[in-house]
Structure 1
Amino acid sequence: MSETKDDPMHGAVVSMEQVGGRTLRVARWRLDEPSDHLPVLFFNGIGANIEAVAPLAEALPERPFIMFDMPGVGGSPDPLMPYNPFTMSWTAAQLLDHLGVGDVDVMGISWGGGMAQHFAMQHAGRVRRLVLIATSAGMLMMPGSPKALTKMANPRRYVDTDYMMQNFETLYGEGLGAGPGKKGHMSRLQPPSPRGYMYQLLCMIGWTSAPALPFLLNQETLIMMGDEDAIVPLANGKFLNALIPNSELKIMLGGGHLFLLSHKDESVDSIREFLDRPATENESAEAA
């Protein structure tokens, strides 16, 4: 457990867990503390370690959180074999069982938003609500800026500080500016292994949630998008909103791909308001 409040992992219990035939580095916040709220299962973006989004768990202190590093990312060992959204969703469900967790709220950002969608459909019975952040329906997405996507696909952004600094605005927009927001985010990144990064890319090749969303994703869903996102343009959020029956779209004005950090207060307020709403008639009927 971290010891200083300046550490983004402050308050987290971090351990290596054997689940689903894999070894995963897992972080959990407040999981053993009494709470009136379901735990949040969070799926991170491609190549991103737990620390990259750990501030969100600290910003919602009333909720237990669970995050894990994908194989070959952060502190999780390299994968021995490729995986796909089905097998990784199964592994995530095994992790919840291993931790003694039943129902959850699920969040996912960017690449992790695809995983969150798949998990919510594959394990619908244990997902109450869903928050999709800066993400798309997969293969049928509206592509982002070619300039940004070219740099996004280059894992050099994780290991070369000068490269990241030079291309930060192209990748993520100008929301974090040149000050501590940008540097703070970069200081939390750890490079994925080449195999880990490649297997994450391969995981989503050919995958799309679009045909299934109108029929299999029935949870109340909050879709959050930045209107200046060069990697996952706003049109993708509108597409998801049109396909998911019980969804709403929240647009972060002036938000790039990292609006979760650049628009932190607004993002946290929106997430909290959504998750704290009373149960809908649809949710009450399913619970009965």
Structure 2
Amino acid sequence: MTTSRHPLQIHVLARPGYALRLGLRRGRAGNPPLVIFNGLGANLELLDGFVAALDERPLVVIDAPIVEAALPFPPYRFSNLVREVDTVLIELGFAEPIDVMGISWGGFVAQQFALQYPNRCRRLVLAASSPGVLMVPGPPTALIAMLGLGMLPGSLGRGFMSARVLGGVFLREPERVTEHLGRLAPSGTWTQIAQLLALWGWSSLPWLSHLRQPTLVLAGSEDPVAPLANAYLLANLIPDATLTVLEDGHGFLLSRPLQTATCTLGFLTRP
């Protein structure tokens, strides 16, 4: 299924047990395509400001897989997911080396892609992410708010819970969350369970030192979900990594789209 209302051409591709929802922009030839793996419970419309601030390079934004009725058996793992994504990218005409970006949960998928396809992944950007289950945890209030958003997606208190999760400027000015809630399409229960099961037992710590791609680690100084210590772990263990810290929380792509896009493009276009 395809729709063209959004600035990105949106496709929903059926796969055994789940569906992949992605936004596609063919862009201008000459620059490597940028493939963005979205965060847990997020949808690509939330990245409109960030996408608008990027240059005209080819772009693919991939939401976490959608699971409608019941969990696929066996549940998908990141290794299987990136294999499927690579097949989809080739079908879309992106057989050349690509730049890969992962946001939060999507950062796990991006790290897995860089490991499995070192010749396909030219550069890697990890935003508000961590090494997986072996990470420095955030405060319990952020975890409780994440569980609340997952279990009560239509709750009247989701603005309050979102501010607790996003942190930074959204925690100081909770009213700013409202402008983004209208673009939020809450995930179904099975989808969220599948996302959490994919993460269960997964950690990149044992093999981060094997990643050879130039890597940009973007982190919020006040991130309640993936505290700043995790960014230092990533940047110190990946051999060719650069760390950039933004004075904000977990949601800096929403609150600072232009600054985040500038940092990302500066990294992707450097010699």
TM-score (norm 2): 0.90
Q: What per-residue deviation string (whole Å, max 9, x for no partner) do you get for residues 172-213 of structure 1?
A: 11414344x422221111121111100100001111001111
User: 2:259 — aligned with what?
Assistant: 266
| Structure 1 partner of 2:20 | 24
Does the residue aligned with 2:130 lie in a helix, a strand or coil? coil
One-letter code aligned to 2:101: M
Deviations 1:51-90 (A, max 9, x none): 12233222213221112233326xx886533101100011
Aligned residue number for residue 212 of structure 1: 207
Distance, in Å, in 2 between the alignment partners of 1:198 and 1:19 is 17
Following superposition, the deviation at residue 48 of structure 1 comes to 1.3
- In the other structure, the counterpart of 1:134 is 128
Tell me the equivalent position of 2:9: 13
Report the equivalent of 1:91. 84
Q: Please, which of 164, 169, 174 is the counterpart of residue 170 of structure 1?
A: 164
- Which residue, out of 58, 67, 80, partners 2:72? 80
* Residues 1:277 and 2:251 are matched in the alignment: no
Residues 218-260 of structure 1, C-alpha deviations (whole Å, 9 max, x = no match)? 000000001101111000000111100000100002x110011
Once the two structures are TM-superposed, the CA of residue 27 in structure 1 deviates from its matched residue by 1.3
Q: Within 5 A, what are the aligned runs for 1:161-240? A: 162-176=156-170, 177-179=173-175, 181-215=176-210, 217-240=211-234
Q: Provide the residue aligned with 1:257 in structure 2.
A: 250
Q: CA deviation at 1:151?
A: 1.4
User: What is the CA deviation profile of residues 72-122 of structure 1, one whole-angstrom value per residue up to 9, with x for unaligned ones?
Assistant: 26xx88653310110001111011111010221000111111110011111
Q: What does residue range 107-146 of structure 1 map to in structure 2 within 5 Å?
A: 107-146=101-140
Please tell me whether the aligned partners of residues 168 and 251 of structure 2 are also in contact (alpha carbons under 8 angstroms).
no
Q: Which runs of 5+ in 1 are unaligned?
A: 4-8, 279-288
| CA separation of 1:101 and 1:77: change in aligned 2, threshold 3 A | farther
- Structure 1 175/96 Cα, relative in aligned 2: closer, same or farther at 3 Å? same
Q: 1:14 to 1:275 in 2, by over 3 A?
A: same
Partner Cα separation in structure 2 for residue 266 and residue 131 of structure 1 = 15
Match for 2:258: what amino acid?
Answer: D
Alignment-mate amino acid for residue 198 of structure 2: C
Task: Report the TM-score when normalising by structure 1.
Answer: 0.85
Measured in 1, the distance between the counterparts of 2:54 and 2:167 equals 25
The residue type paired with residue 203 of structure 1 is A
Distance 1:198 1:263, change over 3 A: same
Name segments (4+ residues, structure 1) moved above 6 Å.
none
Q: How many residue pairs were aligned?
A: 264
Greater relative contact order, per chain length (Cα 8 Å cut-off, separation 6+)? 2
Deviates more, 1:129-138 or 1:188-197: 188-197
Percent of pairs identical after alignment? 36
Structure 1 residues 251 and 243: CA distance shift in structure 2, 3 A: same
Q: Which moved more, 1:94-103 or 1:49-58?
A: 49-58
Structure 2, unmatched stretches of 5+, are none
